[in-house]
A and B are shown apart, each in its own frame.
Chain A
Amino acid sequence: MASIHHSADNAPPRPLLQVRDLEVAFRVEHGLARAVDGVSFDLAAGEVLGIVGESGSGKSVTALSILRLIPDPPGKISKGQILLDDLDLLSLTYDQMRQIRGNEIAMIFQEPMTALNPVFSIGMQVREAVLTHAKISKAEATDRAVGMLEKVGIPSARRRLHDYPHQFSGGMRQRVMIAMALVCHPRILIADEPTTALDVTTQSQILDLMLELKHHESDASIILITHDLGVVAETCDRAVVMYGGKIQEVGTVQQIFADAKHPYTEGLLASLPAMAGPRDEQLYTIPGNVPSIMDMPSGCRFCTRCEHVTDRCRQEEPALHEIGDGQFVRCHLLEPGSKPDSG
């Protein structure tokens, strides 16, 4: 609670979380697979940041790295810094890291069906989160758990403390997960595909709940991992677009949706079904498949599927560069001075 005071002066507030040059590698049969390769981004206090990408783009691995939850072996954070204020999370001891998990940074996961332990009551699981980080009595912890469960909209929460996860619906379980994540008032909430496993009406209820809690309750910054651009448009302030373990484009939601620059982002947007327009029109798809992580092209990661690909794209990896007002793109065609030469 002592951590919300950040944006008092006029100077741009320093980011709450800074990920710098993060590299995560997995040991596979024939060498190392770099699932995340030099990812850097900032998260400002109070901000909702979306990380978008297809499966295999490295977005979930990035999220798990922040809490150092990458299973090791086979995974390993091989390079980079993750700064929470001035604290490099990657330099902490295991016990120091435990103080961060659930307390400063909490996480909710995709599958509410399996993310809760089936053999313990939800009351026990939420209370456990409290008791791990606060030195209070069991009764107090129970009260806090009940309070949080009420806030996430579990009806007659106190009576349902003794119920087990299988007695709740998917949406209700995700609410329990959110309660468990927010009960210690973390400064950052990482939500890894929180609505993917839910049906559409429940999806929007859960997103609304997260935003509502953010505005009225916790003011935690949120990192929202999703493959669903619609979710990003609805909820995020800024978005990071990932492809092949690298960031391809960063910008505000307005920049991304109204003025996307990177061919990959354009492709993603074009493949969204439009509400207006003829119904019999074929939905656009980006040609080809995401290359295997072991088989990434040299040069630009997207060169195998890009419609504007040039020889340079195939040979030389573009750098992430700013094209104005906080919008960054990794593409040769958008580099200052480069003309879209014939392809």
Chain B
Amino acid sequence: MTTYFVRRLLLMIPTFLGVTMIAFAITRVVPGGPLEREIMQLRLGGVTSGESGSGSSSVFDPTADMSSEALEQLRKNFDLDKPGYVAYFLWLKKIAVLDLGESYLKREPVWNLIVHRLPISLTFGLSGFLLAYLISIPLGILKALRHGTAFDFISSTLVFIGYSIPGWALGALLLVFLASGRFYDVFPLGNIKSSSYDDIPSLAKSIDDVDNVSDEFGTFEWERLSFVSKVIDRVYHMFLPVVCYMMSMFAALTILTKNSLIDNLGQDYVRTAFAKGISPARVILLHTLRNSLIPLATGLGHAISVVMAGSYLIEWVFNIDGIGYLGFTSIQQRDYTVVLGVLVVNTILTLLGNILSDFLYAMIDPRIRFE
């Protein structure tokens, strides 16, 4: 078993190389990269200082009146003077010592950018993930036991409607209906905590004395909120995004639990358990459920990658400053060191997730022994 997991860990390396190689290649070919941007900036700078007032974005060759030395220097900065494989190798060498480089735009080490945002993303991703499991497994059990009833039918319909709406689209809908004030104004429009007194949910307000959190000028101090109010405020802000995270996994998990349980309830060992005189609750929740969880465990690793990938758009919709948002905006801005840095982190998390689901698989099913 240990050898199996060591081998799996080693197999991460070629996968990782493949993923990053493709992404790296794309950053070199797609136009509008950092070099062009830099040239444009120099160019515009030159224009504004030279011919003041007439700066425009008319079409022209950006490199036209640049000295070839300056151009060469810039290319060098981005390793564009070297062949692709050399540049990739240089990049990889830095990754090996966890040096993800520096953001072109934010002028900050990518590593710091990610480390600051990872906890935010994981909080949302994991809450959605755990809640999805906590709700859909019992729901799946209930549906299996009530198979064919109105409850089963209605919940299936709702689950599939939810499933057919992507998380980010649902997010936008929820914001319009529940947060914009156009229909209702129950939830905040974004962020992860209140930044002003007006944002605080009324429940938290009622717990904390108003004067406690806002000084005489009415400015708001988050630190002075009591713990309970902070929790309420967090939940209030996290509610809608977490719903969106859940939606993506919810349907598959619920239906998988239901079908797997129904399958298992027809098995011979269930009849044996009943013949022993065991209570139905124990037969279902212990004997049958453990067998039904086997396919769910396999989906776990995949679900982690869904959480990471889904977060790009959901974080963007809800204005959550996590790594999904970071990744999305840096793609828009062609901030390639950040794009690749986020990709590195996501790839490693996904690959580890896959190994984790193998491990859980072996934990739940004794017949699985990896050799």
Decide if A109 is an interface residue (CB 8 Å cutoff).
Answer: yes
Name the B residues within 8 Å of A69 (CB-CB).
Answer: 271, 274-275
B365 near A119 with CB under 8 A, answer yes
CA distance A106 to B267 in the complex (A): 18
Q: What distance in Å separates the Cβ of A335 from its nearest Cβ neighbour in chain B?
A: 40
A73's nearest neighbour on chain B, judged by CB, is B148
Chain B 345-371 residues near chain A, CB threshold 8 A = 364-367
B366 near A106 with CB under 8 A, answer no
B267's nearest neighbour on chain A, judged by CB, is A114
CA distance A234 to B194 in the complex (A): 82
CA distance A172 to B160 in the complex (A): 46
B271 CB contact (under 8 Å) in A98, A102, A109, A121: A109
CA distance A133 to B272 in the complex (A): 15
A106 CB contact (under 8 Å) in B275, B279, B291, B364: B275
CA distance A129 to B287 in the complex (A): 13
- Tell me the interface secondary structure of chain B in the complex: helix
Q: Binary interface profile of A, 64-107, with partner B (CB < 8 Å = 1, else 0)? A: 00010100000000000000000000000000001111110011
Decide if B216 is an interface residue (CB 8 Å cutoff).
Answer: no
Decide if B276 is an interface residue (CB 8 Å cutoff).
Answer: yes
A114 CB contact (under 8 Å) in B268, B278, B364: B268
A118 near B366 with CB under 8 A, answer yes
Chain A 249-290 residues near chain B, CB threshold 8 A = none
- Given contacts A120-B287, A128-B276, are A166 and B366 in contact (CB under 8 A)? yes
A67 near B275 with CB under 8 A, answer yes
Decide if B151 is an interface residue (CB 8 Å cutoff).
Answer: no
Decide if A111 is an interface residue (CB 8 Å cutoff).
Answer: yes
- Given contacts A164-B366, A166-B367, are A116 and B272 in contact (CB under 8 A)? yes
A98 near B277 with CB under 8 A, answer yes
Decide if A132 is an interface residue (CB 8 Å cutoff).
Answer: yes
A163's nearest neighbour on chain B, judged by CB, is B366
Q: Binary interface profile of B, 229-255, with partner A (CB < 8 Å = 1, else 0)? A: 000000000000000000000000000
B275 near A107 with CB under 8 A, answer yes
Q: What distance in Å separates the Cβ of A174 from its nearest Cβ neighbour in chain B?
A: 12
CA distance A69 to B287 in the complex (A): 17
Chain B 256-274 residues near chain A, CB threshold 8 A = 267-269, 271-274
Name the A residues within 8 Å of B274 (CB-CB).
Answer: 69, 101
Q: What distance in Å separates the Cβ of A333 from its nearest Cβ neighbour in chain B?
A: 40
A98 near B279 with CB under 8 A, answer yes
A118 near B291 with CB under 8 A, answer yes
Q: Binary interface profile of B, 272-295, with partner A (CB < 8 Å = 1, else 0)? A: 111111110000000100110010
CA distance A101 to B365 in the complex (A): 28
Chain A 110-125 residues near chain B, CB threshold 8 A = 111, 114-121
Q: Binary interface profile of A, 313-327, with partner B (CB < 8 Å = 1, else 0)? A: 000000000000000
- Given contacts A109-B271, A114-B269, A118-B366, are A129 and B276 in contact (CB under 8 A)? yes
Interface size of A as a range? 20 to 34
B275 near A119 with CB under 8 A, answer no
Q: What distance in Å separates the Cβ of B105 from its nearest Cβ neighbour in chain A?
A: 53
Decide if A223 is an interface residue (CB 8 Å cutoff).
Answer: no
- Given contacts A164-B366, A164-B367, are A115 and B269 in contact (CB under 8 A)? yes
Q: What distance in Å separates the Cβ of A272 from its nearest Cβ neighbour in chain B?
A: 29
B277 near A119 with CB under 8 A, answer no
CA distance A180 to B272 in the complex (A): 10
Chain A 162-185 residues near chain B, CB threshold 8 A = 164, 166, 177, 180
CA distance A107 to B275 in the complex (A): 6
B291 near A117 with CB under 8 A, answer yes
Query: How many positions in chain B have a CB within 8 Å of any CB in the partner chain?
Result: 20
A106's nearest neighbour on chain B, judged by CB, is B275
Name the A residues within 8 Å of B290 (CB-CB).
Answer: 119-120
Name the B residues within 8 Å of A99 (CB-CB).
Answer: 277
Name the A residues within 8 Å of B272 (CB-CB).
Answer: 109, 115-117, 177, 180
A117 near B276 with CB under 8 A, answer no
A132 near B268 with CB under 8 A, answer no
- Given contacts A109-B271, A116-B269, are A100 and B366 in contact (CB under 8 A)? no
Q: What distance in Å separates the Cβ of A11 from its nearest Cβ neighbour in chain B?
A: 33
Q: Binary interface profile of B, 51-94, with partner A (CB < 8 Å = 1, else 0)? A: 00000000000000000000000000000000000000000000
Q: What distance in Å separates the Cβ of B251 from its nearest Cβ neighbour in chain A?
A: 26
CA distance A117 to B276 in the complex (A): 13
A132 CB contact (under 8 Å) in B269, B277, B291, B365: B277
A166's nearest neighbour on chain B, judged by CB, is B367
Q: What distance in Å separates the Cβ of A120 from its nearest Cβ neighbour in chain B?
A: 7
A101 CB contact (under 8 Å) in B267, B277, B287: B277
B294's nearest neighbour on chain A, judged by CB, is A119
- Given contacts A111-B268, A114-B267, A114-B269, are A119 and B276 in contact (CB under 8 A)? no
Q: What distance in Å separates the Cβ of A97 from its nearest Cβ neighbour in chain B?
A: 8
A102 near B275 with CB under 8 A, answer yes
A103's nearest neighbour on chain B, judged by CB, is B277
Name the A residues within 8 Å of B294 (CB-CB).
Answer: 119
Q: What distance in Å separates the Cβ of A316 from its nearest Cβ neighbour in chain B?
A: 38
Q: Which of A106, A109, A118, A119 gathers the greatest number of chain B CB atoms within 10 Å?
A: A119
A114's nearest neighbour on chain B, judged by CB, is B268
A133 near B367 with CB under 8 A, answer no
Residues of A in contact with B (beta carbons under 8 Å apart): 67, 69, 98-103, 106-107, 109, 111, 114-121, 128-129, 132-133, 164, 166, 177, 180
Top 4 A-B residue pairs of the complex, sorted by shortest distance between their CB atoms: A101-B277, A102-B277, A102-B276, A114-B268
Residues of B in contact with A (beta carbons under 8 Å apart): 267-269, 271-279, 287, 290-291, 294, 364-367
- Supplied contacts A69-B275, A118-B365, 15 more A-B pairs, CB within 8 Å: A67-B275, A69-B274, A101-B277, A109-B275, A114-B268, A115-B271, A115-B272, A117-B287, A118-B366, A119-B364, A120-B290, A132-B276, A164-B366, A177-B272, A180-B272
A–B Cβ pairs within 8 angstroms, 29 of them: A69-B271, A69-B274, A69-B275, A98-B277, A99-B277, A100-B277, A101-B274, A101-B277, A103-B277, A106-B275, A106-B276, A107-B275, A111-B268, A117-B273, A117-B287, A117-B291, A118-B365, A119-B290, A119-B291, A119-B294, A121-B366, A128-B276, A128-B278, A129-B276, A129-B277, A132-B277, A164-B367, A177-B272, A180-B272
